[in-house]
Amino acid sequence: MPTLYDPIRLGDIDLPNRIIMAPMTRSRADADGVPLPFVKDYYAQRASAGLIVTEAIYVSRMAKGYVRTPGLVTDQQVMGWMQVTQAVHDAGGKIFAQLYHTGRVALPDFLPMRALPVAPSAIAIEGQNKTDDGPKDFVVPRALETDEIPGVASEFVNAAEMALAAGFDGVEIHAASGYLIHQFLDAAINQRKDIYGGSVQNRARFLLLVVDRVRDAIGDGKVGLKLSPRIKFNGVTEPDAEEMYPFLAKELSARNLAYLHGAKQGGYEIHSEMRPLYKGNYVAGAGFTAESGNAALASGAADAIVFGKPFLANPDLPRRMREGLELAEADPKTIYWGGEQGYSDYPALP
Ligand SMILES: Cc1cc2nc3c(=O)[nH]c(=O)nc-3n(C[C@H](O)[C@H](O)[C@H](O)COP(=O)(O)O)c2cc1C
């Protein structure tokens, strides 16, 4: 029976343990989307995870959805990430870049020439996003033209290639949390009449196009994918999740990815529903402790476990879990704001 502390191979990557650090946006990039110098310290401190997945990184200038978030678009950004991957590798760790396009979550404030964000359909999210001038309402996005869509998939390919150039061990495609790929999946958000809208197959087409283009570019074994069915975030409702996700599990099974990452949210029991349908490495996230993670591994419900919040204030989380040591709590005020404080200054235990 595997435990969190046993090794596993995910695609091309050998992990010394089954503890994965979840992708977590921390908003520590400069105005050009380059990670700040101490970002390498934060990730290197957490290199005892079997695998680190970075915060979400935007794949094009139109993909940026939040202040102070990083990209993988420019040479400067690649150079910035090189420092991070080098530091993690020097500390003995492995690191994947999480790639996303925020679609209708973006505001014109973050986009070139204050462009409207793009989305499957011209439907705004209710609510507000944060800017340096305070909160602002989400806007009605521009619906992508059919012939623009392959070009958006190419943005993921470019960013994946840049990720490898920056020294990442692979990429995780972010198809969760109500960002662009997830917007295509959701029947309430995607009201297109073309081959990217309507049936489950059509709404899944953009996701599968991105996955296949990225696999072709960098190899199956370096590609992970994150899904979060019915997450209560960014206006996701997914009226037919019970049809969409089994379809995706079957389609993705044929693709030999490094892993499928499910984050259980919103009442849909993704782990028990997806796991039996997905043939490949399944990594489970959201709400796990050492105890529940080990139980999930022992029962075969997952091959590895993803931990998010526990990594914020516990850089040496694998050791603390293994030895049953106390876990520190993160200061909520510095999660998305600030410099090194509340970020790279949480100490490891002596
Ligand atoms: C501060 C913070 C930032 C997050 N940013 C991202 C992100 O950039 N990409 C993503 O896929 N999920 C993001 N998440 C969700 C986590 O990856 C994870 O699914 C979630 O926190 C549940 O796991 P946990 O209970 O172990 O924290 C974020 C979560 C937190 C707490």
Percent of the chain's residues with pLDDT above 90: 95
Cβ < 6 A, ligand 1 pocket: 22-25, 55-56, 98, 174, 176-177, 226, 263, 285-288, 307-309, 335
Closest ligand 1 atom to Cα of 55: 8
Give CA–CA dist 16/339, Å, rounded: 31
Give CA–CA dist 105/63, Å, rounded: 9
For domain 8-334, give the CATH number. Answer: 3.20.20.70
Residues in the chain: 350
- Nearest-CA residue for ligand 1 atom 31 is 309
Question: Is a pLDDT exceeding 80 seen at residue 240?
Answer: yes
pLDDT mean over 128-134: 94
pTM above 0.85, yes or no: yes
Confidence category of residue 265, pLDDT binned at 50, 70, 90? low
The active-site residue out of 43, 66, 179, 343 is 179
CA-to-CA dists, residue 196 to 24, 148, 255, 282, 346, angstroms: 29, 12, 20, 27, 45
Does 179 participate in catalysis according to the annotation? Answer: yes
Q: Transcribe 120-183 into DSSP letters.
A: SSS-PPSSEEEETTEEEE--PPEEPPGGGHHHHHHHHHHHHHHHHHTT-SEEEEE--TTSHHHH
Compute, in angstroms, the gap from residue 24 CA to the centroid of ligand 1.
5
Per-state percent for the chain, helix, strand, coil, to nearest 5:
35, 15, 45
Q: pLDDT, tens digit, for every residue of 181-211?
A: 999 999 999 999 999 999 999 999 999 999 9
Helix (H) or strand (E) holding 19: strand 19-21
pLDDT of residue 326: 96
Q: pLDDT, tens digit, for every residue of 30-86?
A: 999 999 999 999 999 999 999 999 999 999 999 999 999 999 999 999 999 999 999
Residue in this structure with the two tokens 């049809």, named with its chain if needed:
243
Pocket residue to mutate for ligand 1, from 24, 51, 309, most atoms within 8 A of Cβ: 24
Closest CA to 203 of 181, 224, 225: 181
Compute, in angstroms, the gap from residue 258 CA to the centroid of ligand 1.
20
Compute, in angstroms, the gap from residue 234 CA to the centroid of ligand 1.
14
